[in-house]
Amino acid sequence: MKLLKSIGAIAAAVTLTAGLGGVAQAKEWKGWNIHPPGYPNTVAMDKFAEILTDKTDGRITLKMFHSGVLGNQPDAIEQLRVGAIEIGNFNLGPIGPVAPEANVVSLPFVFKDVPHMHRAMDGAPGDKISEGMAKKGMIALAWYDSGARSFYNSKKPISTPADVTGMKVRVMNNDLYSGMIGALGGNPSPMAFSEVYQSLKTGVVDGAENNWPSYESTGHFEVAGFYSLSEHLIIPECVCINADVWTDLSDADKEIVKSAARDSAVLQRELWAERDKASREKVMKAGVKFNDLADKSAFQDAMKPVYAKFFEANPDLKPLVDAIQATQ
Ligand code: GTR
């Protein structure tokens, strides 16, 4: 017994020494993610962490904190920029107020559909957006899918902009979304993702907007049973890394980190396509009343003042929006 104990102690000491020996080089990163276990982004970020450890033989490890336990999204973006966390899976919506170039994806109806969004983000417009984010301390390593966002509420189907008039609608923190709801005659209510369920349930807001997987994973469909397929926003998401952490990496490690993020994005996009379908089926089975918006043009027309205000404040971003719209 005594012998076993001392063998144990020696083993522990050896491990400790080996650990200490590696201190100069070992990097232990923290990662932020808002989604729960099983969500495509959660699975993909775990995969990213796994590939990182494998490819660097443990020189770089990433501990993922899921379900938003490290704080809400706008705060987490700040935490990443100052280096309190190294990695995050962010929606470009709340990045827009920080990095103007990234805000163009939050112009309603700027993308025709999800494949158009991917072509633009994988091409020159995506590079321009990355450059804008880099200037603000965030390096985008890869783009994740977040589908298309549509309106849902607890009152009635939305078919025309007039149906939104007078409705209290939760939006993410970004003036563009408040402007969008205002242009439809509704009352925007910027709020953290984690607070939306209670707010819908207690009537603090009448509705919100999101893609099928988030509508389902959050349980919002239980308390806001009308889903109207407006698809007014198609917002990509990033796997981001703090710019200083990125700069300090060797070229070889940069390559590993980037390719790990890209591999995780391939997985995320596959899982997303499956979950999009599965979530839609699940909420429909649960009794959600769904309506398609055969004609979106009235909603698109209503967005003209939102675009006008945006270009007035950001005349230099007009070429980027043109480039997105011209992407084939
Ligand atoms: C989800 C997105 C989250 C968060 C959320 C929200 O679709 O993946 O990052 O932005 O929407 O509405 O706050």
Q: Give residue-wise pLDDT tens across range 283-323.
A: 999 999 999 997 899 999 999 999 999 999 999 999 999 99
DSSP 8-state code for residue 36: P
- Write out the residue limits of the CATH 3.40.190.170 domain(s) in the chain: 28-146+235-277, 149-234+295-326
Beta carbon of 208 within 6 Å of any ligand 1 atom: no
193 Cα to the center of ligand 1, angstroms: 7
- Tokens 């009537």 sit on residue: 203
Tell me the mean pLDDT in the region 32-39.
Answer: 98
- Tokens 């590939």 sit on residue: 51
- CA 103/CA 116 separation, integer angstroms: 17
Contacts of 14 (CB under 8 A, 6+ apart): none
> Does domain 149-234+295-326 match CATH 3.40.190.170?
yes
Report yes or no: 305 and 175 within 8 Å, Cβ to Cβ: no
- CA 178/CA 36 separation, integer angstroms: 27
Going by C-alpha positions, the residue among 55, 48, 53 that lies closest to residue 32 is 48
Beta carbon of 189 within 6 Å of any ligand 1 atom: no
pLDDT of residue 295: 85
Mind spelling out the 3-state secondary structure of 63-122? Answer: EEECCCCCCCHHHHHHHHHHCCCCEEEEECCCCCCCCHHHHHHHCCCCCCCHHHHHHHHC
Beta carbon of 214 within 6 Å of any ligand 1 atom: yes
Percent of the chain's residues with pLDDT above 70: 92
At 195, give phi and psi (nearest 5°). Answer: -95, -5
What pLDDT, in 10s, does the model give residues 151-209?
A: 999 999 999 999 999 999 999 999 999 999 999 999 999 999 999 999 999 999 999 99
> Does domain 28-146+235-277 match CATH 3.40.190.10?
no
Give me the sign of the Cα torsion angle 68, 203, 92, 247.
negative
pTM over 0.85: yes
Tell me the mean pLDDT in the region 97-122.
Answer: 97
Q: Whose CA is nearest to atom 13 of ligand 1?
A: 193
Chain-wide mean pLDDT for the chain? 93
Q: Whose CA is nearest to atom 1 of ligand 1?
A: 214
